[in-house]
Amino acid sequence: MRFLLFLSCFCVFFGMAQKKQKNNQKNYDLLDAKMDQMPIELNQSIDSIGSYINKNFATESEKIRAVFYWTAKTISYDVENMFEVKFDESLSDRIERTFITRKGVCFDYSNIFNVLAVKAGIKCFVIAGYTKSNRINIDNLPHSWNAARIDNKWYLFDSTWGSGYFVNQVFIRKINNNWFKIDPELMIMSHMPFDYLWQFLNNPINNQEFMEGVYSGEQKPMFDFEKEIVRYESIPKVQQLFEVSQRIEKGGLKNQHISQAFIHAKTAWKNEEQKEKGRKFNEIVTNSNEAVKQLNEFLRYKNRKFQPKLSDDEIKKKIQAPRDLLAQCNEALSEFDNEENSSNKENIENLKKSISNVLENADENVQFVNAYLAKPELARKEMFNKPFVRKPNTVK
């Protein structure tokens, strides 16, 4: 069963008692005004907005400001549907819906932000986690925000909290720059990623420390998050998901948000593992069919008594290539030895038998070719006029 978890989060818009960053409001006003000057027709697609940002903003800092401002100014918090979950909706469809309706929850804000940032040529991630209000109270729903690498340094952005606030369940838009380009050391006071990789700290805190607001002070091994992010991006998706689930569990399953995130991560890993196995199985089927095709080509050539004439090396390659490909397929199937699904297991066993039978035929013809090539030219023709006795298999 496919398990999906969409983060639908409550928008907490109060002023947090956190150290304020030095924001150049005058500079922001100039950049924001330039974004306001974007022609209306360009506001109809994400691609055209991204193109406008690239043409009119020079630096990464300017571009990410344009992304934040457009997202916070344009998307309204969808109070009425804040608890709605559409399991049959793909991420791309959800982003498109949010863009068209200009309404969404934190998951939608962060994904729109991410798409625009990537269009502007900025490395960006969507981060899932949970939050604290006033550094004390854990909020009732999970949350989603962004990280972007600006001028070779990671910063954090919460365009949901930066877009406005609630009054009697009515969304009031008011840009809050306290949630723009935040240092990780400040963001961790209110925002806790499920996966500690996205704290962007060399000494990440655990969930207990975040929830209590009391940091143990114990010495922890140095965590090189920069190096780990590079490695994370280089490994296969199935390995990424496995390690995410491990890090979430290691951080401590201290509340319902984290436990659900762990279940989601573990399920996503298992699903991806099955998809990867399916991809590998299909690849084996494709390769084994190609090997059979090559073997049949060799047999037709053999039936013509190796005419037209080829060199000894070409004749040997003509049988050795399909034989080796079959052996590779046979070896690759060993990865599926512990398959538990009965239907999959039956398909695997049938393929194993099929490959084994064809491989036996290929081995027999390899021996025939070796014997043929070992004879002098005049004696070779006789081999086509009498049955070939295969040498017994030996175990090495």
Domain assignment present for 188: yes
Tens-binned pLDDT, residue by residue, of the chain (396 aa): 232 333 344 444 334 434 444 457 768 999 999 999 999 999 999 999 999 999 999 999 999 999 999 999 999 998 887 767 666 789 999 999 999 999 999 999 999 999 999 999 999 999 999 999 877 789 888 999 999 999 999 999 999 999 998 888 888 999 999 999 999 999 999 999 999 999 999 999 999 999 998 877 677 889 999 999 999 999 999 999 999 999 999 999 999 999 999 999 999 999 999 999 999 999 999 999 999 999 999 999 999 999 999 999 999 999 999 999 999 999 999 988 887 777 788 999 999 999 999 999 999 999 999 999 999 988 998 888 866 544 443 333
Residues 313 and 180 in one domain: no
Task: Determine whether 396 is exposed, middle or buried from the number of CB atoms within 10 Å of its CB (0-12, 13-18, 19+).
Answer: exposed
In a domain, 15, yes or no: no
Domain match, 196 and 307 both:
no
- Domain membership of residue 143 (yes or no) is yes
CB 171 within 8 A of CB 79: yes
Range of the domain at 197: 25-201
Residues 182 and 325 in one domain: no
Last residue of a domain, one of 175, 201, 227: 201
Are 189 and 315 in the same domain?
Answer: no
Give a yes or no: residue 381 inside a domain. Answer: yes
User: For residue 243, is it within any domain?
Assistant: no
In the beta sheet, which residues pair with residue 192? 130
- Residue 140 domain-assigned? yes
User: Is there a single domain that holds both residue 196 and residue 329?
Assistant: no
pTM exceeds 0.85: no
Is residue 297 one of the residues assigned to a domain? yes
Count how many domains the chain has: 2
**Position 238 in a domain:** no
Residue 127, phi-psi category: left (phi > 0), alpha (psi -120 to 50), beta (remainder): beta
Burial of 364 (0-12, 13-18, 19+ CB in 10 A): middle
182 and 47 together in one domain: yes
The residue among 201, 217, 248 that closes a domain is 201
CATH number at residue 82: 3.10.620
Asked if residue 299 and residue 191 are part of one domain, the reply reads: no
- Residue where a domain terminates, one of 149, 173, 201: 201
